[in-house]
């Protein structure tokens, strides 16, 4: 981790009010119930540390991407009960993240008490990184703590600019462990090092794939993005996902992999379907031989075997993006096979890091959360960190 930044362990919070940026951007169902509380649970150690020092905690976060002011749908009060249950404590709520009430509630906080502020993104000044807005937030606390790794790639008021107004600014335990685990993969990984990339879009992941070619021994590409590779080679992909404007790029990536001596594995067979539906008619097709009217929605049995073998023989594994439409049980076998191999490799001593919202959801769906080395709470943040970009939320904590 960046040796210039301090963590919560370097300070005592006794008698202090800590303004803590967390990433409580969690998924909600139609009734506004939290469907995955991983990010809430992940913030608990930092909160507990501050409270046990004798401090109080003011939590601030965004939820979703509200447009144009306060919007009930994106209120953080939807997560309040979940947070209280996780902490086993009462949490106060400020219905506005700045203003008189927030100031009064913060000022009245006693040691051991927690206040949650309403969604920061109800103000456009948050994403704009407005200094005046940042100053108002800063006035609520004595010490700034950033534990929002999932949002550390954003240079927003609460993730970066606010730090300018504090002498004491530190990272929380989650931020610290996210950075340390990413570094295990980035710096001197044990070999063989295998990266598994999947998911829907090449365009989202192109930078990281290029960067990884300098580091990995094996690169496995599955999921929706693999069909653009197949099409670029002259194959037939039917109605499978295609990013036509990225076809040239896939050829360049293949050439780069070859030049760097990286083994590139693409699916050799696919589970196909007539429709994007769990119960639609299914088939199997070799890669590059998917008939018109069919789409590839998962990797096939032979691909699963090949990928699993490579993964099981690896000592460092990075996984980002599912192998198929794992949300539907008919198309989750490729993703499950990769997850199984990853767990086996981890049991045999490999270090496995899983990043990306959907890969983490897949790991949790299969009940493997505790069986892999580290599941990152970051999607975009992890990828940008791995691409070698300096995360604004981390940079802001430097003295």
Ligand X SMILES: O=C(OP(=O)(O)O)[C@H](O)COP(=O)(O)O
* Cβ-based nearer residue to ligand ADP, 29 or 88: 29
Contact, 374 vs 382, CB < 8 A?
no
23 marked ligand binding residue: yes
* 223 in contact with ligand ADP (CB under 6 A): yes
Report yes or no: 319 and 376 within 8 Å, Cβ to Cβ: no
Judged by CB under 6 A, which of 359, 365, 368, 378 binds ligand ADP? 359
**379 contacts ligand X (rule: CB under 6 A):** yes
Residue from 380, 387, 389, 395 touching ligand X (CB under 6 A): that is 380
The token pair that represents 183 in the structure block: 């570094």
Query: Of 89, 92, 184, 201, which residue is the catalytic one?
Result: 201
Could you tell me what percentage of the chain is helix, strand and coil, using 3-state DSSP and rounding each to the nearest 5? 40, 20, 40
- For 16, phi and psi rounded to 5 degrees? -105, 155
Is 89 among the catalytic positions? no
Asked if the peptide bond before residue 192 counts as cis, ω within 30 degrees of 0, the response is: yes
Q: Is 322 in the site for ligand ADP (CB under 6 A)?
A: yes
Stretch that binds ligand X, among 146-154, 224-232, 267-275, 339-347 (CB under 6 A): 146-154
Q: Tell me: does residue 321 bind ligand X (CB under 6 A).
A: no
Question: DSSP letters of 200-252?
Answer: S-HHHHHHHHHHHTTT-SEEEE-STTHHHHHHHTT-EETTS---GGGHHHHHH
The residue number whose beta carbon is nearest to ligand ADP equals 199
Contact region for ligand X (CB under 6 A) — 147-155, 161-169, 269-277, 336-344?
147-155
Distances (CA, A) of 281 to 45, 64, 275, 276: 48, 36, 7, 10
180 marked among binding-site residues: no
- Give the C-alpha separation, 252 to 327, whole Å: 31
**Binding at 267: pick from ligand ADP, ligand X, none (beta carbon under 5-8 Å per type):** none
What are φ and ψ of residue 58, in 5° steps?
-110, 110
CB-nearer residue toward ligand ADP: 300 or 324: 324
Stretch that binds ligand X, among 226-234, 264-272, 345-353, 377-385 (CB under 6 A): 377-385
Segment interacting with ligand ADP, rule: CB under 6 A, options 146-154, 355-363, 369-377, 386-394: 355-363
CA-to-CA separations, 108 to 92, 99, 112, in angstroms, rounded: 11, 14, 12
**Site for ligand ADP contains 358 (CB under 6 A):** yes
Q: Is-catalytic flag, 141?
A: no
Would you count residue 384 as binding ligand X (CB under 6 A)?
no
Length of the chain in terms of residues written: 399
Which of 222/357 has CB closer to ligand X?
357
Provide the token pair at 150.
């999932």
Instruction: Please give the structure tokens belonging to residue 309.
Output: 């073998």
C-alpha 52/C-alpha 89 separation (Å) is: 13
Is 355 annotated as catalytic?
A: no
Interface residues for ligand X in 151-190 (CB under 6 A)?
Answer: 151, 154
Known catalytic residue: 367? no
What part of residues 172-211 is at the interface with ligand ADP (CB under 6 A)?
Answer: 199-201, 204
Q: Which option in ligand ADP, ligand X, none does residue 269 bind, with CB closer than 5 to 8 A by kind?
A: none
C-alpha to C-alpha distance for 50 and 112, rounded to whole angstroms: 8
121 is in an annotated binding site: yes
Rounded Cα gap, residues 320 and 147, in angstroms: 22
Which residues are catalytically annotated? 39, 201, 357, 380
Annotated binding site for substrate: 23-25, 39, 62-65, 121, 154
Query: Which residues of this chain interact with ligand X, rule CB under 6 A?
Result: 23, 25, 65, 150-151, 154, 357, 378-380
The residues of the shown chain that bind ligand ADP, judged by CB under 6 A, are 199-201, 204, 223-224, 241, 296-297, 320-322, 324-325, 327, 356-359, 379
């Amino acid at each position: 981790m960046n040796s210039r930044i301090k963590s919560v362990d370097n300070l005592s919070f006794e008698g202090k009010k800590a303004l803590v940026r967390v990433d409580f951007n969690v998924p909600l169902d139609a009734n506004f119930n939290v469907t995955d509380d991983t990010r809430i649970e992940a913030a608990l150690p930092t909160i507990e540390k501050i409270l046990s020092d004798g401090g109080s905690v003011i939590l601030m976060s965004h939820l979703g991407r509200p447009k144009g002011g306060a919007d009930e749908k994106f209120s953080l009060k939807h997560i309040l009960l979940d947070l209280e249950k996780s902490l086993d404590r009462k949490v106060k709520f400020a219905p506005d993240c700045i203003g008189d009430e927030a100031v009064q509630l913060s000022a009245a906080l006693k040691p051991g008490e927690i206040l949650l502020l309403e969604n920061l993104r109800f103000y456009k000044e948050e994403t704009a990184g407005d200094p005046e807005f940042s100053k108002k937030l800063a006035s609520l606390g004595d010490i700034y703590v950033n534990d929002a790794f999932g949002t550390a790639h954003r240079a927003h008021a609460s993730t970066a600019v606010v730090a300018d107004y504090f002498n004491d600014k530190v990272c929380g335990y989650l931020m610290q462990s996210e950075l340390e685990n990413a570094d295990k993969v980035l710096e001197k990984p044990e070999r063989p090092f295998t990266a598994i990339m999947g998911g829907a879009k090449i365009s989202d992941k192109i930078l990281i794939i290029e960067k990884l070619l300098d580091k990995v021994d094996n690169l496995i590409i599955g999921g929706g993005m693999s069909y653009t590779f197949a099409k670029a080679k002259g194959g037939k992909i039917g109605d499978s996902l295609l990013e036509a404007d990225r076809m040239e790029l896939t050829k360049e990536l293949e050439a780069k992999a070859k030049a760097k001596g990286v083994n590139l594995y693409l699916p050799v067979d696919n589970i196909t379907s007539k429709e994007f539906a769990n119960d639609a008619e299914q088939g199997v097709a070799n890669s590059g031989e998917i008939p018109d009217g069919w789409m590839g929605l998962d990797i096939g049995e032979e691909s699963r075997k090949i990928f699993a073998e490579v993964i099981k023989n690896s000592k460092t594994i990075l996984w980002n993006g599912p192998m198929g439409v794992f949300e539907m049980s008919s198309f989750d076998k490729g993703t499950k096979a990769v997850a199984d191999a990853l767990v086996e490799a981890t049991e045999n001593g490999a270090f496995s890091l899983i990043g990306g919202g959907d890969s983490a959801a897949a790991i949790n769906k299969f009940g493997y959360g505790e069986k892999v080395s580290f599941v990152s709470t970051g999607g975009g943040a992890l990828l940008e960190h791995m691409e070698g970009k300096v995360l604004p939320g981390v940079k802001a904590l430097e003295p």
